[in-house]
Amino acid sequence: MQEATWDEEKSVWRLSIKNLISNEHFSFEVDVLLTAIGRFNAWKIPSFPGLDKYKGLVRHASDWSEEFDVSNKAVAVIGNGASGIQLTANLQPRVARLDHYARSKTWIAASWAGDERTLAPLPFSEDEQASFSKPEDYLRMRKEVEDKYWRRFAAFFRDSPENNDLRARFIEIMRKRLEKKPELLDKLVPDFSPNCRRLTPGPGYLEALTEDNGGLHTDTHPGDHRNWNSDGRRHTQSRRCYILRNRRQCRHEPPLLHQSIR
């Protein structure tokens, strides 16, 4: 859908559609228009001081390209939401240098279902998959999975025994996973309680930060070019690029509408 225009006289929405395969354009009218185009499709590169002077490639994670080859590059990932955490874990083994800029602290949790999580996929075995063809076995599996997640609701409340227990366990997990660079623990452990911000198990994330080619920056603004010289003095062996995982547009009004519904 390229455009939706409200026709005041007929009281209908006029939609302009392009068939992306045939390139054909057509239009039609509807009384009711439901948009479900997602909140992540109108991505936006945030502005921060110094970005305009940066000479390397700047890429938003919502604007990925399969041709984008990260090998031998020095890469900065900005932001430690779920995307930044996943990107850091997955890029660090493939790049020359990975610097992660995180202005806020975050909990890195165990899997809240209690299972072991790894950076590599954890597929269902063939036997398990075969068992799913029996509805009662499939239902049992689904219930077991749901149970692990939702029977621990008390852990959502700050200062509940369950929440305090999570805090202690998460600190221990983080300490263990940061064994190679224990000084990072204080930079990462938040003062807010677990579950206050969305929890992320982040398999491979803490490990990536402790590798020789990985680094965490919590007190430096990503736009600080003392760290990211545009002449490449700091990273002479490799090309540089920023990967941004920042908030998208904050406007909730759907794009493409030529008159908002009142």
Ligand X SMILES: NC(=O)c1ccc[n+]([C@@H]2O[C@H](COP(=O)([O-])OP(=O)(O)OC[C@H]3O[C@@H](n4cnc5c(N)ncnc54)[C@H](OP(=O)(O)O)[C@@H]3O)[C@@H](O)[C@H]2O)c1
How far apart are alpha carbons 185 and 199 in whole angstroms?
Answer: 17
Are 218 and 103 in contact by the 8 Å Cβ rule? The answer is: yes
Show the tokens assigned to 149: 């997640």
Nearer residue to ligand X within complex by CB, 237 or 249: 249
Q: Does residue 192 belong to the site contacting ligand FAD (CB under 6 A)? A: no
| Positions 63 through 92 that interact with ligand X (CB under 6 A) | 78-84, 86
Neighbouring C-alpha atoms within 13 Å toward the C-beta of 153: 4
Are 48 and 223 in contact by the 8 Å Cβ rule? The answer is: yes
Cβ 102 to ligand X shortest distance, Å: 6
C-beta neighbour count of 191 within 10 angstroms: 6
Piece in contact with ligand FAD (CB under 6 A), picked from 32-40, 198-206, 209-217, 234-242 = 32-40
Q: Does residue 48 belong to the site contacting ligand X (CB under 6 A)? A: yes
| Positions 69 through 88 that interact with ligand FAD (CB under 6 A) | 83
Token look-up 């202005």 returns: 103
Nearest to 63 by CA among 255, 258, 260, 242: 242
Which residue of the chain is nearest ligand FAD when measured via CB?
A: 38
The site that binds ligand X (CB under 6 A) totals a number of residues, namely 17
From residue 1 to residue 30, what is the string marking binding to ligand X with x (rule CB under 6 A)?
------------------------------
Are 91 and 181 in contact by the 8 Å Cβ rule? The answer is: no
Nearer residue to ligand X within complex by CB, 13 or 203: 203
Nearer residue to ligand X within complex by CB, 170 or 242: 242
C-beta neighbour count of 47 within 10 angstroms: 10
Q: Does residue 237 belong to the site contacting ligand X (CB under 6 A)? A: no
Instruction: Report the residue from 34, 36, 120, 250 that binds ligand FAD according to the rule CB under 6 A.
Output: 36
How far apart are alpha carbons 43 and 30 in whole angstroms?
Answer: 28
Which residues are CB-contacts of 29 (< 8 A; sequence separation ≥ 6)?
A: 7, 10, 12, 13, 14, 15
| Positions 182 through 221 that interact with ligand X (CB under 6 A) | 198
| Positions 94 through 133 that interact with ligand X (CB under 6 A) | 103-104
Count of positions (residues) in the chain: 262
Give the binding site for ligand FAD (CB under 6 A): 1, 36-38, 40-41, 83, 256
Give the binding site for ligand X (CB under 6 A): 46, 48, 78-84, 86, 103-104, 198, 222, 245-247
